[in-house]
Amino acid sequence: MNIRTGDSGPGMITDLTGRLATGEPLSDRERRTLATATDILALGMAADEVRRQRHGSVTTFVRVANVTIEAAGTAPPRAAGEIRLTGEPASRDQLLAAVRTARRAAGDRPVTGCSLPDLETLAAREGVSLSSLLVDLRDAGLELIARAPIDRLSDAFVDVIRAAGLPVARLTLEEDPGERRLDVLQRVARLDNTAGTIKAFAPLPQRVDPAVPTTGYDDVKMVALARLVVENIGVIQVDWGLYGPKLAQVALTFGADDLDNVSPLEPLDLGARRAPLEEIRRNIRAASMEPVERNGRFEVMAR
């Protein structure tokens, strides 16, 4: 049997989340209790309170044009607030050219792209330092690195991106850490983000085994714990495209305050009420929050 019965009742969870929020250290046993807690309502209530203290009822979202490196010149949809280059770069020259091309096509909208470990690999392959590659990308017009998966990086990455002046849009998790979730979150919480070089933290895994996907409980627990533990990154984000409207919306009531990767398309055949923009606003309002559109620089675009 694989039944998780880590909870010792709502009182215990509330006590632990309270201590966590004040930065008090927890014993190994208490950490395990929280990481395996099934009283998601106690976790959610605590996380929602912290979220509201920090962001009130505002929920930001960004409409993203995902453009492959090979197709960087494609004109992005008018509604996109971020142009994100995706895919693994074949070479430094190819990537720099793609950034310049995307930069021209983007107008005044920010161009983001790449995963930091991919850039590490590229730098090593080309025999240049990661720092110099980042500086070159910045100079070519890349405004933010799209993602930095914490479970693929050493903590030193923060110094490198700070020195290069190229921030990371979102710290991500590649795999589900399972019962190690609190350890991972505490590692994130210890990163030095005083300069604000990490804009957001997306605590839900980017890769999921389709045969054994994470559950709803796993997901909302991770979001709630991230909100309670990770104070150094104010934006807790869920990927709308990856996690879908239902889970992403529920996550807003468990501590998330930002929705990434909303489609910039406005398909005519869906009708105004079912277009992505209306759908996301409706979902945010139905969670008793106020929708605020931002761009890839995390600047408010429209309320």
For other proteins, the binding residues (CB under 8 A) are 1-7, 10, 38, 40-41, 44-45, 48, 212-213, 215-220, 244-247, 249-250, 252-253, 271, 273-274, 279, 282-283, 286-288
Paired sense of beta strands 111-115 and 82-86, if any = parallel
Name the nearest CA neighbour of 133 among 118, 147, 123.
123
* 43 vs 67, beta carbon nearer other proteins: 43
* 281 vs 297, beta carbon nearer other proteins: 281
* 55 vs 84, beta carbon nearer other proteins: 55
CB 282 within 8 A of CB 290: no
* Cα 184 from Cα 178, distance rounded (Å): 10
| Least distance between other proteins and beta carbon 5 (Å) | 6
CB 92 within 8 A of CB 126: yes
| Least distance between other proteins and beta carbon 259 (Å) | 13
Q: Spell out the residues 6+ positions from residue 251 whose beta carbon is closer than 8 angstroms to its own.
A: 204, 219, 220, 223, 238, 243
Q: Which residue is it, tokens 């055949």? A: 269
* 116 vs 252, beta carbon nearer other proteins: 252
| Least distance between other proteins and beta carbon 38 (Å) | 3
| Least distance between other proteins and beta carbon 110 (Å) | 29
| Least distance between other proteins and beta carbon 30 (Å) | 17
Number of Cβ within 10 Å of residue 191's Cβ equals 18
* 273 vs 303, beta carbon nearer other proteins: 273
